[in-house]
Amino acid sequence: MVDGQSIVGQAYRYDYRDPKLLQNTAERWVALTYSWGHPKSESLMQLPGDDFLSNNAGYIPMTTEVASHLLTPDARDEFIKGFSADIFSQAYSGNQASVFRPLQMLEPERTETGWMVEVLGERHVTTPSNQVGILVPVHFEIYLIATEPEDK
């Protein structure tokens, strides 16, 4: 280059992703999906509101809806249906708040199609009758693949 400067480039495979990026993506996905509500004296949630979306099976937090866009379209629909019916139904009625606390993100492991990141943490779950709440240990295996952006 000009003035004696040089540039060093490193070749990466097209689907390479930095391990820290993979860990951060997995951690944020779990935090967005499994944190909702806020403790108050009478109810744990302000309902209904702009923070929730309605679907065929019930309601989901807006943060969960945002996080669900990392899923493939077919898996996304099933996940949202199961999440609103099985996990979030008690919370939407104002009977539960949840905050995910990450404890450890293990190094990503390469799989045949992408990477697997183990997320270890705990959910702090509170109810109107138990404002102190309980800690629920969680262990997620998040599988990630590199994809091309969709054309819109």
pTM: 0.72
The gap from C-alpha 133 to its chain's centroid, in whole angstroms, comes to 21
Q: Provide the mean pLDDT of the chain.
A: 79
Contact indicator for 142, 117 with CB cutoff of 8 Å = yes
* Number of residues that make up the chain: 152
Average pLDDT rounded to a whole number, residues 119-134:
88
Structure token digits, residue 20: 């820290």
Query: What band does 1 get if pLDDT is binned at 50, 70 and 90?
Result: low
pLDDT tens, residue by residue, 25-38: 999 989 888 888 76
